[in-house]
Amino acid sequence: MKSIQSLVLIGSGNVASLMAEAFKDVGLDIWGVYSKTTENAKILAEKINVNVFKSVAEIPTDADAYLLAVNESALPVLIKELEIIEGILMHTSGSVGLDVFPENVSRSAVFYPLQTFSKSRQIDFSTVPILIESKDNQILEELMVLGAKISNNVKIADSVQRKQLHLAAVFACNFSNFMFHIAEELLKENNLDFELLKPLIIETTAKLNEISPLEAQTGPAIRNNKKILNKHLKMLENHPEYQNIYRLISDQIKKLKSV
Amino acid sequence: MKSIQSLVLIGSGNVASLMAEAFKDVGLDIWGVYSKTTENAKILAEKINVNVFKSVAEIPTDADAYLLAVNESALPVLIKELEIIEGILMHTSGSVGLDVFPENVSRSAVFYPLQTFSKSRQIDFSTVPILIESKDNQILEELMVLGAKISNNVKIADSVQRKQLHLAAVFACNFSNFMFHIAEELLKENNLDFELLKPLIIETTAKLNEISPLEAQTGPAIRNNKKILNKHLKMLENHPEYQNIYRLISDQIKKLKSV
């Protein structure tokens, strides 16, 4: 079976950088980095000691695969520019379907790591689910082997499933993180240390190893403790936006009981 | 210095149960359990091998301390019933002030464990912040020593600070958990396994050891990716309540950028 040995990176953001390092670590032959922001491409290229391609024309067309780790909105134009590429073109977006590739791009695929990537934060890819998609079974096999090099959790998922997962991930990760942000803001205003909440946050997540979020739900809303709910809304008077969030989510949590 | 050796438990819910076990483990002399729901009191009493007090009249008045781990709304009446108690009365609520105790109850205090407690879930108390409060410095010292028996993180906090912490905890724990619940619901509807999100959820929390929630914020809203935001709102058409939450939180996250 053919396997992916050589790789070109397109993009130089958090996803591109962290995946590049993971691929580098398992010995993949990375030919170079191309990015619209050449400065970022240079930083990444230096980090993993590879070439920078300063224009699309400079990108060699015969690498085994091309990782398109760019902003979703940049994909259509980029894909058009890369039409002459012979290797596998794979994008890394949860929310973009395989149909972003036009019919004439035959070797198209998706290689989506279901994780949150921040700068200055190392990722252990071994547990990260990698969701792969392609219409071509041989490409799927190649992606499976490629994914298995960095993760123990490679799964085939179609575009509909991947989009659903991405939407769920926005709630589970982006929105829960914003709840942590609000908590930190509220404590800061009162000169209280966010560190005090860390054991609570750790336990909130750790619980999920044993029980479902539904069973794990605690707090004044699930107990329908109107007195505390009203007290909290009053305390948020200077933050109408947090007050709205508090009210909306509490109203939903209250309904859990009657389910 | 006098130290708390004997304890009576009032309440038999999750907080009472888990704290009872923690105190039992460090060798405190637990005289017994009283709860309005005698059935629950029996279960807890059996678990930790202590007496059940079937009425307030049965409760001995001379234990060193009484842990009032009951629903906040039950506290005022309960405290009135326990007026003749000679030991320290300490409630465990984040959102109830010390002023729930009338002036004539001199030995009053708060012993608030900042944690989320679920049935069938063991708690390692050693990292749990215990926030203590009393007008009496000697009682504070006694609570400090008592707290230190089960936790490495005992802090003095007044009622205002404790209420602020509790409000922040609702966002950080209860609301983030509800985000996990929504994620699980959305996946279930599409026959996708919530397990797939666990590495993401773990990382979302783990990040906070290195960076603030503000720096950790990722997702379509912080990138102000209107196309994906609209796509997600459309996908939530059958869940107007989740759609509202999605819109409200995303609008707030978008504003982070301009801060």
pLDDT in tens, A153-175: 999 999 999 999 999 999 999 99
How close A213 comes to chain B (CA, Å)? 5
pLDDT of residue B1: 66
User: Which residues from chain B sit within 8 angstroms of residue A245, using beta carbons?
Assistant: 175, 245, 248-249, 252
Residue B204 near chain A (CB below 8 Å):
yes
Q: At residue A25, does pLDDT exceed 80?
A: yes
pLDDT at A119: 80
Mean pLDDT, rounded, for A5-16: 96
Query: How near does any CA of chain A get to the CA of B240, in Å?
Result: 11
Interface of B with A in 181-200 (CB under 8 A): 181-184, 186-187, 190, 192, 194, 196-200
Closest CA to A72 of A55, A95, A40, A88: A95
Residue contact B204–A161, C-beta within 8 A? no
pLDDT at residue A106 greater than cutoff 90: no
Tell me the chain B residues in contact with residue A177 when contact means C-beta distances shorter than 8 Å: 204, 207, 213, 216-218
Q: What is the mean predicted confidence (pLDDT) over A26-53?
A: 96
A231 interaction partners in chain B (CB closer than 8 Å): 95, 163
In degrees and rounded to multiples of 5, residue A7 shows phi and psi of -140, 140
Q: How far is A92 from chain B (nearest CA, A)?
A: 14
Closest CA to A87 of A149, A142, A24, A18: A142
Chain A touched by B99 (CB under 8 Å): no
Task: State which fold the A163-256 domain adopts.
Answer: N-(1-d-carboxylethyl)-l-norvaline Dehydrogenase; domain 2 (1.10.1040)
- Judged against a pLDDT cut of 90, whether residue A255 lies above it is answered with yes
Please check the confidence at residue A145 and state whether its pLDDT lies above 90.
yes
pLDDT in the model for residue B182: 98
The predicted pLDDT at position B104 comes to 82
Q: Is A77 on the interface with B (CB under 8 A)?
A: no
pLDDT band at A246 (very low <50, low <70, confident <90, very high): very high
* Inter-chain CB proximity A200 and B173 less than 8 Å: yes
By C-alpha distance, which of B80, B157, B48 is closest to B112?
B157
pLDDT on residue B258: 52
Distance from CA of B220 to the nearest CA of A (A): 8
Contact B218 A73 (CB under 8 A): no
Span B141-193, pLDDT tens digits: 999 999 999 999 999 999 999 999 999 999 999 999 999 999 999 999 999 99
The neighbour count for residue A11, using CB atoms within 10 Å, is: 27
Give domain limits for chain A: 6-157, 163-256
Query: Is a pLDDT exceeding 60 seen at residue B43?
Result: yes
- Pick from B127, B163, B213: which is nearest to A199 by CB? B127
Q: Please answer yes or no on whether A213 and B244 come within 8 Å at the CB atom.
A: no
Instruction: Work out the pLDDT band at B246, boundaries 50, 70, 90.
Output: very high
- The mean per-residue pLDDT over the stretch B10-31 comes to 96
> Which chain B residue shows the shortest CA-CA distance from A253?
B178
B6-157 shares its CATH topology with B163-256 = no
A227 interfacial to chain B (CB closer than 8 Å): yes
SS3 assignment for chain A:
CCCCCEEEEECCCHHHHHHHHHHHHCCCEEEEEECCCHHHHHHHHHHHCCEEECCHHHCCCCCCEEEECCCHHHHHHHHHHCCCCCCEEEECCCCCCHHHCCCCCCCEEEEEECCCCCCCCCCCHHHCCEEEECCCHHHHHHHHHHHHHHCCCEEECCHHHHHHHHHHHHHHHHHHHHHHHHHHHHHHHCCCCHHHHHHHHHHHHHHHHCCCHHHHCCCCCCCCCHHHHHHHHHHCCCCHHHHHHHHHHHHHHHHHCCC
- Cβ(A244)–Cβ(A182) under 8 Å? no
In whole angstroms, what is the distance from residue B140 CA to residue A242 CA? 34
A11: left (phi over 0), alpha (psi -120 to 50) or beta: left
Model confidence at A1, pLDDT cuts 50, 70, 90, reads low
Query: Which pLDDT score, from 0 to 100, does residue B210 have?
Result: 94
Report pLDDT for A217: 96
User: B233 touching A, CB under 8 A?
Assistant: no
Judge whether residue B95 has pLDDT over 80. Answer: yes
**Among all residues of chain A, which has the CA nearest to that of B184?**
A168
pLDDT reported for residue B103? 87
**Cα gap B249→A246, rounded to integer Å:** 11
Q: What is the pLDDT of residue A99?
A: 96
**Interface contact B156, partner A, CB < 8 A:** no
Q: How far is A258 from chain B (nearest CA, A)?
A: 15
Q: With contact defined as beta carbons under 8 Å apart, do B156 and B130 qualify? A: no
Q: Between chains, do B244 and A245 touch, taking CB under 8 Å as contact?
A: no
Instruction: Give the pLDDT confidence of A171-220 residue by residue, as tens digits.
Output: 999 999 999 999 999 999 999 999 999 999 999 999 999 999 999 999 99
The average pLDDT across A94-104 equals: 93
pLDDT per residue as tens digits for the range A71-87? 999 999 999 999 999 99
Query: Burial, A180: exposed, middle or buried (Cβ in 10 Å; 0-12, 13-18, 19+)?
Result: buried
pLDDT at B85 over 80: yes
Number of cross-chain residue pairs from A and B with Cβ atoms under 8 Å apart:
305
CB pair distance less than 8 Å for A186 and B170: no
ipTM: 0.93
Inform me whether the pLDDT recorded for B126 exceeds 60. yes
B6-157 maps to CATH 3.40.640.10: no
**What's the pTM value of the predicted model, to 2 decimals?**
0.93
B241: part of which helix (H) or strand (E)?
Answer: helix B240-256
- What is the residue-averaged pLDDT of chain A? 95
Confidence of residue B106 (pLDDT cuts 50, 70, 90): confident
In terms of Cβ atoms closer than 10 Å to its own Cβ (0-12, 13-18, 19+), residue A63 is: buried
Local confidence band at A258 (pLDDT 50, 70, 90 cut-offs): low
Q: Give the mean model confidence (pLDDT) for residues B36-47.
A: 95
